[in-house]
Structure 1
Amino acid sequence: MSSTTGARAVRLAWAAAGTVLLIVAWSILAAFYPSILLPSPLEVVAALCSLAASGELARELATTVWRLLVAFALGGGLGIALGLAGGRAAPLAALLRPIMAVLAGVPPISWLALALIWFGTGSLAPIVVAWLVAMPAVFVATLEGMRALDRDLADMARAFGLQRLDMLREVYLPALTPHLLSGLSTAAALTVRVGVMGEFLASSTGVGSAMALARTRLETAEVLAWVVVALGLLMLAEGLLLRPLARRAAAWRKEG
């Protein structure tokens, strides 16, 4: 077994131990409180199974996932495009920095309040707010990557007549990859958190909305079941999107 595989196994073992410890502590605490305040893990699992059996879980999850994908695509795509443009034109970067600082600095709940006024309830409010919150992280990361670019190497590559695709592969990608992955990871987490919060406050469908409805019925086990679903979305964003992207980028660089 290689050292990398061994280190990964150790990390997984510690993560599993931490999860078990959390569940045990939760079970002990739940024994001292009524279910309406703190349901046990088994009650939450039962609520999750009930949601899955009724079809509500799949329906609300599908609604949330497409909203999050749209918001992440908008935030990531525009963040990268504006970061690349700002990295090539210093005046544009100076113009965009304060705008991105405002977008990142305003609390998401404030954007949600405005989105409710502008768009009302529905899909648009959570999508727009998640997009606005996620985009600055990708923009800043891309801009930092452009700053880390070896300008002499880029000039030399142009002098030797490298085509745009080759420039991207040999010059830009190695400099941008670590910054982009960091920015996209932050953006993915923000998109899930803010998107679900937006559904909680400004939508009648989706995981966040279902969580809000369960809260009004005082179904605490169901609320926690939806929390587990939201956490699962965060883990899936990392495991199914960002890690494969990191592996592909590393393979691309090796091929070069």
Structure 2
Amino acid sequence: MKDTHAGVTALSLFGLLVLWVVAAWLTADATVLPQPWSLLRPFWRETVSGELPYHLGATLLRVVWAFTLAMAIGVTLGLVMGRYPAVNHWLDPWLVIFLNLPALVLIVLCYLWIGLNETAAILAVTLNKIPNVATVIREGARALDPQIDAMAKVYRMSAWARLRHVTLPQLAPFIAAAARSGIAVIWKIVLVVEFLGRSSGVGFQIHLYFQLFDVRMVLVYAFSFITVMLVVEWLVLQPWERRVRRWRGT
């Protein structure tokens, strides 16, 4: 089954590569859409010089910080809102507002209020993702089995033991879903944050080469980071999601 899935994935990616080659051939202009193999030399040059690892590392660090904070705060907030209707009534309007507030507005406000620094960058990304995580976890908390919770009370399990052995295992699929969608959204917002106000990172480099109208270098940095995030998705997030769903038999 896994071999079949891997084969389909590889075939799908190959099809995308073929589509790129055909589109570049039809365009017949490397300044608009270069052929994929023409990216190899600039990729190697940027890697050997240390520019690509440096900027890629800066972006990944921001992604890790924002992802960790957004998941920690969002899971806590969603669990509380899902378990306590009174709290949900008070905070639901806030959640709706932040869900509909454009990411660009939050980024600009954070830069204006805090300054063009790392704190503002990471805070802007975190604030953009917390509402989405909280919404998913809130629905998971509402779906918790009350009979299992009642059993835990009968056996007089401590609050920590109930959280660890009763609540979190049931919430695990929802946490995994929030994490998978979260990492996809967060790295995109990080690139926008870097594009607008940082002096390092993949987004900063894309901004630089955008000003130079260098499509080849824009693609080198874009695909380098996309590759890293696909590896994280396939090797970490998807296996983890399958693992946490095993107890449900799905």
Contact 2:42 2:217 in 1 (8 A): yes
Q: How far 1:101 moved relative to its partner?
A: 1.8
| CA distance, structure 2, for counterparts of residue 93 and residue 115 of structure 1 | 26
Local SS of the residue matching 1:121: coil
Letter in 1 for 2:8: R
Q: Which residue of 2 aligns with 1:19?
A: 16
The answer as to 2:202 corresponding to 1:207 is yes
| CA distance, structure 2, for counterparts of residue 230 and residue 64 of structure 1 | 9
Q: Which moved more, 1:50-59 or 1:170-179?
A: 170-179
**Structure-2 change in CA distance of 1:42 and 1:17 (3 Å):** closer
| CA distance, structure 1, for counterparts of residue 94 and residue 19 of structure 2 | 41
| CA distance, structure 1, for counterparts of residue 234 and residue 162 of structure 2 | 29
Letter in 2 for 1:219: D
Contact 1:137 1:184 in 2 (8 A): no
Q: Which moved more, 1:123-132 or 1:138-147?
A: 123-132
Unmatched tracts of structure 1, length 5 or more: none
| CA distance, structure 2, for counterparts of residue 5 and residue 236 of structure 1 | 16
**Offset from partner CA, 1:89-119 (integer Å, 9 cap, x none):** 1111222222122222111111222122123
Contact 1:48 1:225 in 2 (8 A): yes
Q: How far 1:24 moved relative to its partner?
A: 2.4
Task: Count residues with an aligned counterpart.
Answer: 248
Match 2:65 to one of 46, 58, 70 = 70
Alignment map for 1:1-256 (pairs within 5 Å)? 4-5=1-2, 7-30=4-27, 32-33=28-29, 35-164=30-159, 166-250=161-245, 253=247
Q: Which moved more, 1:137-146 or 1:82-91?
A: 82-91
Q: How far 1:145 moved relative to its partner?
A: 0.7
Runs (4+) of structure 1 exceeding 6 A deviation are none
Q: Which moved more, 1:148-157 or 1:9-18?
A: 9-18
Q: Which moved more, 1:118-127 or 1:84-93?
A: 118-127
**Structure-2 change in CA distance of 1:103 and 1:120 (3 Å):** same
TM-score in terms of structure 2 length? 0.89
Local SS of the residue matching 1:38: coil
Q: How far 1:172 moved relative to its partner?
A: 1.8
**Offset from partner CA, 1:131-180 (integer Å, 9 cap, x none):** 11111111111111111101122012211223445534543234212221
Q: How far 1:63 moved relative to its partner?
A: 0.8
**Structure-2 change in CA distance of 1:94 and 1:232 (3 Å):** farther
**Structure-2 change in CA distance of 1:115 and 1:236 (3 Å):** farther
Q: Percent identity?
A: 27
Q: Which moved more, 1:19-28 or 1:99-108?
A: 19-28
TM-score in terms of structure 1 length? 0.87
Q: How far 1:40 moved relative to its partner?
A: 2.2
Contact 1:192 1:233 in 2 (8 A): no
| CA distance, structure 1, for counterparts of residue 38 and residue 11 of structure 2 | 26
| CA distance, structure 1, for counterparts of residue 231 and residue 121 of structure 2 | 19
Cα RMSD after superposing both structures: 2.2
Local SS of the residue matching 2:31: coil
| CA distance, structure 1, for counterparts of residue 177 and residue 65 of structure 2 | 20
Q: Which moved more, 1:45-54 or 1:242-251?
A: 242-251
Local SS of the residue matching 2:140: helix
Local SS of the residue matching 2:48: helix
**Offset from partner CA, 1:198-239 (integer Å, 9 cap, x none):** 101111111100111112222221011111123224313423
Q: Which moved more, 1:158-167 or 1:182-191?
A: 158-167
**Structure-2 change in CA distance of 1:117 and 1:9 (3 Å):** closer
Contact 1:87 1:143 in 2 (8 A): yes
